[in-house]
Structure 1
Amino acid sequence: MKMKRAGGVMAAALAAILLPIVVASPASADQGDCQLYLYDRGYNVGPKVESACKTGANTRNVGRFIQCYWGLTAIGVKEADAAGACQSA
């Protein structure tokens, strides 16, 4: 009888530990990641960068990457940095 009870307690404890891991949503990037990417590379993050990164993070926008990219390169962000930032968004 004690073995069944111990097994039940262990199962409940294991479930309590694993449930938050299993239920957690997958990590996703956002406009803050895009802005941080550029900030870390020495760019000033102002309203135009914020706008482009917000566009890049909008999952409902089919052309979001290219719009983000164009928005950033139009304000002088290097092409490679714009691509990396928009990929982060």
Structure 2
Amino acid sequence: MKTKRVLATMGVVVAAGIVPLTTASPASATVVQCVGVVHGYGYVVGPKVTTACTYKPLPNPLGSDFPNPTCVTMLVQLGITSSRANTACSWA
């Protein structure tokens, strides 16, 4: 009985964590998504990448937000290519 309760609780927690990630758009993107993009490109993710990803994109009244230049610069200084840094930072 106790095992079923623990498994049910774990299922709810996992679902609560997955749903926002699968339904988020760039306008509601997060540090986790930015870090995930960097990791997805095969780079090692550490505290410096996480810090860079805290810089939110700059609003663009005409469409998609602009990647934050501070985020991009910090990632490029860590050895991430400019195009990949721009992609990641657009998800920050």
TM range (shorter): 0.5 to 0.7
Q: Supply the distance in 1 between the matched residues of 2:67 and 2:51 (Cα, whole angstroms).
A: 12
Q: Give 4+ residue runs of structure 1 displaced > 3 Å after superposition.
A: none
Instruction: Report the structure number with the largest CA radius of gyration.
Output: 1
| TM, length-normalised to structure 1 | 0.60
Can you list the C-alpha shifts for 1:29-82, whole angstroms capped at 9, x where unaligned? Answer: 01101000011110111011000001236x9xxx97000000100111111110
Structure 2's unaligned 5+ residue stretches are 1-23, 60-65
Identity of aligned residues (%): 32
> Where do 5+ consecutive residues of structure 1 fail to align?
1-25
Among 81, 88, 91, the alignment partner of 1:88 is 91
Equivalences, count: 61
AA at the equivalent of 1:34? C
Q: Which one has the bigger helix percentage?
A: 1
